[in-house]
Amino acid sequence: MKAGFVSRNTGKLRELRQLLPGWEIEPLTTQGIGDETGATFYENARQKADFGRRVARPALWVLAEDSGLEVDGLGGRPGIRSARLASPHATDDDNLHALLAELAGSVGAARRARYRCEIVVLAPDGAEYRGSGMLEGEIATTPRGASGFGYDPIFIPHGKQQTVAELGDRWKAQHSHRARATAALLAGMPKPAESS
């Protein structure tokens, strides 16, 4: 199935191509998309999908995603502002270190966190399919590992001693919030023969 993906994040594009191996996913332009104004991950994903539906070729399926990190000690922040925690144009490294600075001195339950992901797919006829995924864990005190992107070097999933960046891409493809959201999405979508 051919789908256009609405995102400026090349890491997400790479992961979704792994998670959806039967799909041909191409990046769609984000020029003119504007700022995200939704109050939830789903609302932001749907906003991107609606934009993609307007700019994509009529026969193309549209894929959009919004995800982020919620930290208990920060009252659920950064949440939908995960990509902009340090500033509107922050890098992953900027955001990661801003989060660690906010949590300096915090221990125990304050460092509990979860990754959330919402994926929305719009069919050429406008029908919507969606999937949600979550990964529970805690925030490490220092970055570790070289795989992944975003907050992966400081996120330790429950039951693990390593960060997501140490666990690597193969582990993420099976267990990440994005992998779980993709699995939920596919479970509710038509089979490829029905949607190609």
Which residue shows structure tokens 């999405």?
185
pLDDT band at 128 (very low <50, low <70, confident <90, very high): very high
Q: Quick one: which of 63, 45, 78 has its CA closest to 3?
A: 63
Q: What percent of the chain has pLDDT over 90?
A: 86
Which residue shows structure tokens 């256009």?
4
Q: Are strands 128-139 and 61-71 parallel, antiparallel or unpaired?
A: unpaired
Q: Residue 145 CB: number of other CB atoms within 10 A?
A: 17
Q: Would you say residue 109 has pLDDT above 70?
A: yes
Read off the pLDDT of each residue in 86-104 and give the average, rounded to a whole number: 96
Longest dimension (CA), the chain: 54
Residues 115, 68 contacting (CB under 8 angstroms): yes
Q: How far apart are CA 18 and CA 35, in angstroms?
A: 27
Read off the pLDDT of each residue in 100-106 and give the average, rounded to a whole number: 97
Read off the pLDDT of each residue in 95-109 and give the average, rounded to a whole number: 97
Per DSSP (E only), the strands in 102-146 are 112-122, 128-139
pLDDT of residue 35: 83
pLDDT of residue 30: 86
Residues 33, 110 contacting (CB under 8 angstroms): no
Walk me through the domains of the chain, giving residue ranges and CATH numbers.
2-195 (3.90.950.10)
pLDDT band at 193 (very low <50, low <70, confident <90, very high): very low
pTM listed for this prediction = 0.92
In three-state secondary structure terms, 152 is: helix
131-182 pLDDT per residue, tens: 999 999 999 999 999 999 999 999 999 999 999 999 999 999 999 999 999 9
Question: What is the CB-side half-sphere exposure of residue 152 using CA atoms within 13 A?
Answer: 20
Catalytic residue among 35, 66, 94, 125: 66
**Is 66 considered catalytic here?**
yes
Q: Residue 16 CB: number of other CB atoms within 10 A?
A: 22
pLDDT of residue 196: 46
pLDDT of residue 8: 85
pLDDT band at 192 (very low <50, low <70, confident <90, very high): low
Q: How far apart are CA 107 and CA 105, in angstroms?
A: 6
Read off the pLDDT of each residue in 69-96 and give the average, rounded to a whole number: 96
